[in-house]
Structure formats: C-alpha cells, structure tokens
Amino acid sequence: MMIFTYSKFYYNSNIMNIIDCFMYYDEEMVLDIRLNILDKYVSHFVICEANFNHNGTKRELQFNIENYKKFKEKIIYLPLNSLPENLKLLNKDDTKVIKNSKNFRYKKKVTIFEQKMYYYKLNLLHQNFKWYGSKLVKKKHLLSPQWLRNIKSKKYPLWRMDIFFSNTKYNNIKFIKNGGWHFTNVKSPEKIDFKMRNFLHHLEYEESGIDAEQVAKTIKEKKIFYDHGVDKRDRKWGSAAKLVREDDCYLPKYIIENKNKFKNWLEDY
C-alpha cells in the first residue's frame, strides 16, 4: 500500500475499511494524484479544509468537489469554519519558546510509513532523507488526529522508562519500508513564499529573511531551502542538500502514465 504524507489512515477491523484522512490547502495536482493512486485501496477520503491559516488570518475555501466527480461518492468534505476554542493569543513580545509551545498526549499503537521526499517537481528527490508523515491506527485506538500526528517516528527501547510517561515517545511502533511518496512545495516560487508565510512555522520563515526571489534561486539550483534533518534548535533555513532526478520506475504509475498532464512539474521532460 502506497500513501502520501499528512494523511492519517484509520483502520476499522470490524468492516475492513481503510479511510484516508488529510488536510487540504490548495494542492489540486497533488490531490488528483493521491485520489487516483489510492482509490482502489480506500473506502473513503476525508478531506478537511479550514477558512483560516495557521497564523489566524482568514482565507477562502479552495476545494471544489465538482473537480473530482470520479471520486464524489467516496469523498467526505469537512470545512472548518471556526477557530479552536482553546487557542492562545500571541503577543509580539513573546519568546520563541512561548510561541512554539505545544502539549499533546498519546498512548496507543501506530504503524508509520517511511516515504521518499520530492521537492519542487514530482521527480526531484531529496536523497538520504525519509519522511514519516503518514500513519495508520485502528479506529478504536484513535485519540485524535493531532495525537497521531505528534507521535515520534522512532521506536524507543523498553528500558527507556520515560516512554511510560511521555506524551510523544512510544515502543510498540511498526515501520513500513517503501511506504509511498511525499511531494512537497510543488508550486511556483511565489506560491511557496505565500504558503511559508501562512503555515504552522510562519514565524521561523519570516525571521529567516527568505522571499520569493530567494526561493526561485534555490529551485533553479535544485537545493532545499528548509533543512528537515537538523535539530529544531539549530538553523533550518538554507541547506546544501542537492536534489536529484528520480528514475521513472520509482514514481507512481499514475504519474508515469500521464506524463503529458504533469509535464510542467517533471524535471527534464
């Protein structure tokens, strides 16, 4: 089974259904690829979209189910029209620690999919880096989507007594090798810049001084502007990692069979 990142797969053992749940922003092309690849594996697609950004600013809902008529009977669309009640207001004088603080809990079994990461184009691979965004859990074990998302992608040994009290560390985890593809920032430099200024870590991006022009430069150089491999306390913006063109045989069959459709988003096509 191949799946995409940020999805949460909930498995109901009583009726043998797999439900693909994920957040939507404006990635129509990636959504089209996702739906076509997973259609034969899942019973429903649960799509959640908010009318506000991570920084609290309002936005117009973008998802249009009429663009995906082939999957209309499987799609459950959940627009989020109000901010969570327990949000804490940020003040301009707050420290980074306060601005980025979180407190979530978990205590159940999960399966995590190890995926390849592709940047800017559908076939530009970030080598020597694995993405662990997609996770599977039985419905009876699901505490909340955020709980599932925050679980550490590492199997901790039983002698680590802190796992019995931790909110993020777990021992009973299964990893699926070759678990799919994670396509990120498959957008124009301007749209990437807009996304970065409105996503969860927009404060870090704004402080980095990066803009659309610099994003365009890193794309041209086939470099990654956000280093996922460094510790969160270190500098993340800017990386010497070079992207490489992936061979067609490793890409989803749907993309290979529709190269002309995705020609603007395939390197050297």
Confidence at 209, pLDDT banded by 50, 70, 90 = confident
Instruction: Kindly report, residue by residue over 180-207, the tens digit of the pLDDT.
Output: 999 999 999 999 998 888 876 677 778 8
The Cα–Cα gap between 240 and 224 comes to 7
Angle at 69 between CA 63 and CA 75, to 5 degrees: 60
Sign of the torsion formed by the C-alpha atoms of 130, 133, 138 and 140: positive
Angle at 146 between CA 61 and CA 143, to 5 degrees: 125
33 neighbors 252 (Cβ within 8 angstroms): yes
Q: What is the average pLDDT value for the chain, to the nearest integer?
A: 82
108 neighbors 163 (Cβ within 8 angstroms): no
Instruction: Look at residues 205, 147, 179 and name the one whose alpha carbon lies nearest to residue 5.
Output: 179
Domain ranges of the chain: 8-265
Instruction: Kindly report, residue by residue over 106-144, the tens digit of the pLDDT.
Output: 345 788 999 999 999 999 999 888 999 889 888 888 888
